[in-house]
């Protein structure tokens, strides 16, 4: 693949080199935005669309996968601040129809300590896999415009054995955030998209971020993402930029831009959205894995602690990092050819490490987490 590289802002050869290497490692396209003491730098590498020569947009829309969870967590905590939701209240008080274990609290949903089965499937410690809704191969391709109701996903999860007793462990489950979004909607009487607009998007002037619901569309302009699968013994690659994201729901359905992610995360980390006490709660990590309430905390040694929530979904991924005061951020959108084997995962982890090292420095050589 030929590599196109473009950049705006001051010359940052180390960033230009990094995105060129990332594009060459198997990604279709990379768009990067860095805001730090040197100002703002944006750049892109790779191509906007397979088989075409146009370089990727630096301000294109893309699916942000599990980065969605941070937006959901922030919305919940803003409603906690307003008095509408209790952080340590039983979720069953808000959603009695599911018969949830009364020990499960709002906090447990946000921190993935509820123990509920993940509706997109579970990988157990002994290597066995329990399937959930289809999200791989031809089965997902054939159902990629199907609408799943959030209640349907929750009931699927609750039909399976819990991973552990509430509060007794940590397990990343998209269903926790489906439940969190349902709590938002039950308490406010409005859709998550409406509450997100009221609390976050409107006040921050974010015009490129969408909570799409069952819509398959991505706002123009955008870079293209793809999926490779086997059909009757033949390998096929299709454009999956458009698909119905209700299979993952609040676990990873949102769309944004690198500009909006910077605006948002800089404001969140800088204390402009949450009261100091709730921001501190959000950033206090579980000892097991460094996950707070919808955000990872990463110790950079001499570089201090940075916070992030990355995400990956079909053919598209997002990076969102920031310092504790929000003064330095790294936001990126990556497009690629996904497959059932998740073969892009090592390249995605390497991309995270490369960019974090370049922007924040002092990184310890630990494996980057993929939060798809």
Q: Is 256 a catalytic residue?
A: no
Q: What is the 3 state secondary structure string of the chain? A: CCCEEEEECCCCHHHHHHHHHHHHCCEEEEEEEEEECCEEEEEEEECCCCCCCCCCCCCCEEECHHHHHHHHHHHHHHHHHHCCCCCCCEHHHCCHHHCCCCCCEHHHHHHCCCCCCCCCCEECCCCCEECCCCCCHHHHHHCCCCCCCHHHHHHHHHCCCCCCCCCCCCCCCHHHHHHHHHHHHHHHCCCHHHHHHHHHHHHHCCCCCECCCCCCCCCCCECCCEEEEEECCEEEEEECCCCCHHHCHHHCCCEECHHHHHHHHHHHHCCCCCCHHHHHHHHCCCCCCCECCCCEEEECHHHCEEEECCEEECCEEEEEEEECCCCCEEEEEEEEEEECCCCCHHHHHHHHHHHHHHHHCCCCCCCCCCCC
Name residue, tokens 């086997």: 230
CA distance 159 to 170: 20
CA distance 198 to 344: 36
Catalytic residue among 6, 25, 66, 316: 66
Which amino acids are annotated catalytic?
Answer: 66
């Amino acid at each position: 693949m030929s590599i196109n590289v473009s950049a705006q802002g001051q010359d940052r050869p180390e960033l230009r080199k990094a995105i060129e290497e990332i594009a060459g490692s198997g990604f279709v396209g990379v768009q990067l935005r860095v805001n730090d003491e040197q100002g703002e730098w944006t750049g892109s590498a790779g191509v906007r669309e397979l088989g075409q020569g146009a370089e990727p947009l630096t301000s294109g829309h893309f699916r942000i996968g599990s980065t969605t969870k941070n937006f959901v967590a922030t919305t919940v905590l803003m409603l906690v601040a307003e008095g509408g939701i209790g952080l340590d209240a039983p979720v069953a008080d808000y959603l009695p129809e599911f018969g949830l274990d009364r020990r499960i609290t709002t906090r447990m949903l946000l921190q993935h300590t509820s123990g509920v089965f993940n509706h997109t499937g579970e990988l157990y410690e002994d290597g066995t896999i329990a399937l959930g809704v289809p999200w791989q191969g031809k089965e997902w391709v054939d159902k990629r415009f199907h609408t799943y109701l959030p209640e349907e996903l929750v009931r699927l999860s609750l039909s399976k054995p819990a991973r552990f007793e509430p509060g007794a462990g940590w397990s990343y489950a998209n269903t926790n955030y489906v439940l969190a979004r349902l709590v938002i909607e039950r308490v406010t009487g409005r859709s998550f998209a409406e509450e997100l607009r009221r609390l976050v998007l409107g006040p921050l002037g974010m015009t490129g971020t969408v909570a799409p619901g069952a819509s398959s569309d991505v706002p123009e302009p955008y870079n293209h993402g793809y999926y490779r699968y086997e059909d009757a013994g033949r390998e096929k690659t299709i454009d999956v930029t458009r698909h119905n994201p209700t299979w993952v729901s609040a676990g990873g359905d949102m769309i944004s831009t690198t500009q909006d992610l910077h605006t948002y995360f800089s404001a969140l980390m800088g204390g402009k959205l949450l009261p100091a006490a709730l921001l501190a709660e959000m950033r206090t990590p579980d000892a097991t894995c460094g996950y707070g309430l919808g955000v990872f905390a990463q110790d950079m040694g001499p570089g201090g602690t940075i916070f992030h929530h990355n995400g990956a979904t079909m053919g598209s991924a997002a990076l969102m990092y920031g310092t504790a005061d929000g003064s330095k951020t790294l936001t990126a959108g990556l497009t690629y050819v996904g497959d059932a084997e998740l073969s892009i995962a090592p390249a995605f982890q390497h991309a995270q490490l490369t960019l974090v090292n370049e922007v924040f420095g002092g990184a310890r050589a630990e494996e980057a987490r993929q939060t798809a």
